[in-house]
Each structure stands twice: as structure tokens, then as C-alpha cells.
């Protein structure tokens, strides 16, 4: 067991770095840049029952400290993911992958999760009940403890692999939602998804994004993510994956001190395709500098008072 090794819901990772869903495609795209087997794992693109083109363009906008996106879960649909994307991934990634599932109804979450659960390559099911950029689903399930619990229970009933529920920060009480997921069988919690935001074109006086609003990600959201990870990790007994604005090895240590067992790196991958690789390479030096022997020992190690 190496000094970067962590255990996530019973499965061992060589390190805690996981590129976040929607920022790493289906993996093989990044394999053109480097050997992606250096990663702990990664969460592949949010997958729905039917193919989705996503939202109309433009659907990306820059902002200070980050970016807005309203891509809208563009993906080829679960059957094509299984038939075409996963075989291509298997050629370049030899570890278990995290399957990110999205939906617009309880039935759709159940259908997609049950199919992906049967795939040998899939190690975890990450259920996204927090996407702010689609209508009639996504975040609507993640803003209410009862609905979040129902989706969790339904997915757990048709899966054998660890189920990790991805939560939205666009709520008033993140802890009650996380606890509802835990009570209904969730094996882990991942947070945060993006914060709601918008930009306006000063010349046209129209929203830059066709969808009007989009999800804010990048370094600007890190303090919010850190606070929510801290709150949830101290309220539940299941592992927490922390994400939101992580760009450096120091950010990883800070997020794990707040209570994360592993972390997901999102927007940084869109700025620099080598971002996750660089963080992994820099981690040992940061641990040495801070006098930390094994990274797994720092989870929840923040000192209060």
C-alpha cells in the first residue's frame, strides 16, 4: 500500500485523484495526452437513457476565477456508451471506472444504473441528482431530502456496486439531503456540483449563455465546496468525495483535511489537459513539506478551536 493509496467504498485507489464527470469525456480522449492509468480513477461523462444533444449554443462563458457551462448532459445514451464508448476506454484504461448516471425520472435513473452496474469495467455508480442545466430533472431531485432518498433507494435496489450520490450546492441545507441519501443506502456522497450563475453581454445586453444561466465551476467555488464537504463529512458515516475548484496538490490536502476520502478535479482539466496528472505528481512533495506520511490518514483531520 503506497502513501497515496486510499479506499473508496471498498475499492482501493492508487491515489485520491479522480477527474470529474463532464470534464474528462469517456477517458480515451485524454489518453492521447498521457497514460491515464496514473489516475485513481475517473468519472465518465454524465449518461442518460436516450441520446442527448444538450442545450443550444453558446453554452460556455468565462468569468473571473472560473467558467460557466450549460452543456446540458450531451451524451450518446447508455446503450451506445456500453456498446461503443466502454470498449474504446478498455483499450487505454485498465482500472475500474466511475459511471456517472443522470436522469429525468426515477425510472430513468433505475434503468441506466441497472445497465451500467452489469459492466465489468464499472467500479462505482455516481448518481447525479444535481445538474443545474437541464429542465424537468437533474437538480430537482437533489434539492429535497425526500426525493433524494427515493432516488437513492431505487438505484440501490437494482445495483450491486457502490452507489455514490452527487449533490447540488444550490440548497439551503446540504446536510439533511446527504443524511437522507445515507439513510436510504448510499455508499458515498460526492459534492459539490456547480453553483448557479450567469453572464450578460454588455454590447447586446443579452445573456451570454443561450440557456440564460449556467453552472459556475473553477477556483472561485473552492471555499464553498470546502465548507459543504466539511459539513457533510462530519454528519455522515459514509465516504465523501470532495470537488469544486481543485487545481493544486495543496487544494487536495485541504479538501481531505475537511473530510474528503478522495477528490474530483473538474474545470482544471478543461484549462490544462495535464492538470490531474500534474496534481498527482506534485502530491508527494507537498506531503513531504507538510510532514504527512500517508495521505489517507489526513481525511477529516482539520483541527477546530
Q: Catalytic amino acids? A: 131
Q: What angle do CA 186, 26, 215 make, to 5 degrees?
A: 65
The answer to whether 77 and 51 are in contact (CB under 8 A) is yes
Q: Report d(CA 105, CA 243) in Å as an integer.
A: 25
> What is the residue-wise DSSP string for 149-161?
HHHHHHHHTT--S
Put the strands of the sheet holding 240-243 in their side by side order: 17-19, 262-265, 240-243, 188-191, 163-166, 122-128, 97-101
Q: Report d(CA 224, CA 56) in Å as an integer.
A: 29
The answer to whether 280 and 38 are in contact (CB under 8 A) is yes
Q: Report d(CA 225, CA 62) in Å as an integer.
A: 20
**Buried b or exposed e, range 164-195, using 16+ CB within 10 angstroms:** bbbbbbbbeebeebbbbbbebbbbbbbbbbbb
Q: Is the dihedral of CA 304, 16, 28, 126 positive or negative?
A: negative
Q: Which helix (H) or strand (E) holds 275?
A: helix 275-290
Q: Report d(CA 17, CA 6) in Å as an integer.
A: 10
Q: Is 112 helix (H, G, I), strand (E, B) or coil?
A: helix
Q: Report d(CA 292, CA 96) in Å as an integer.
A: 27
Q: Is 210 exposed, middle or buried (0-12, 13-18, 19+ CB in 10 A)?
A: middle
Amino acid at each position: 500500500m503506497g502513501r497515496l493509496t486510499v479506499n473508496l467504498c471498498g475499492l482501493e485507489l492508487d491515489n485520491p485523484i479522480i477527474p470529474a464527470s463532464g470534464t474528462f469525456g469517456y477517458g480515451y480522449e485524454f489518453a492521447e495526452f498521457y497514460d491515464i492509468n496514473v489516475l485513481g480513477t475517473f468519472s465518465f461523462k454524465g449518461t442518460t437513457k436516450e441520446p442527448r444533444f444538450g442545450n443550444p449554443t453558446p453554452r460556455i462563458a468565462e468569468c473571473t476565477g472560473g467558467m460557466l457551462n450549460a452543456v446540458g448532459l450531451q451524451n450518446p445514451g447508455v446503450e451506445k456508451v456500453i456498446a461503443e464508448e466502454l470498449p474504446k476506454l478498455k483499450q487505454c484504461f485498465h482500472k475500474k471506472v466511475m459511471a456517472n448516471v443522470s436522469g429525468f425520472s426515477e425510472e430513468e435513473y433505475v434503468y441506466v444504473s441497472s445497465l451500467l452496474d452489469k459492466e465489468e469495467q464499472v467500479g462505482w455508480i455516481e448518481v447525479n441528482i444535481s445538474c443545474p442545466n437541464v429542465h424537468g430533472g437533474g437538480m430537482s431531485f437533489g434539492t429535497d431530502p425526500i426525493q433524494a432518498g427515493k432516488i437513492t433507494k431505487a438505484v440501490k435496489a437494482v445495483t450491486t456496486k457502490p452507489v455514490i450520490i452527487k449533490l447540488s450546492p444550490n440548497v439551503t441545507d446540504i446536510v439533511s439531503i446527504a443524511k437522507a441519501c445515507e439513510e436510504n443506502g448510499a455508499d458515498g456522497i460526492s459534492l459539490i456540483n456547480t453553483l448557479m450563475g450567469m453572464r450578460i453581454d454588455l454590447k447586446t445586453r443579452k445573456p451570454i449563455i443561450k440557456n440564460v444561466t449556467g453552472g459556475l465551476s473553477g477556483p472561485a467555488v473552492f471555499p464553498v465546496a470546502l465548507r459543504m464537504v466539511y459539513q457533510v463529512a462530519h454528519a455522515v458515516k459514509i465516504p465523501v468525495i470532495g470537488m469544486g475548484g481543485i487545481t493544486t496538490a495543496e487544494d487536495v490536502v485541504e479538501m481531505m483535511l475537511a473530510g474528503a476520502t478522495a477528490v474530483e478535479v473538474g474545470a482544471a482539466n478543461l484549462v490544462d489537459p495535464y492538470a490531474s496528472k500534474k496534481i498527482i505528481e506534485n502530491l508527494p512533495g507537498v506531503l513531504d513539506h507538510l510532514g504527512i506520511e500517508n495521505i489517507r490518514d489526513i481525511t477529516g483531520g482539520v483541527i477546530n478551536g
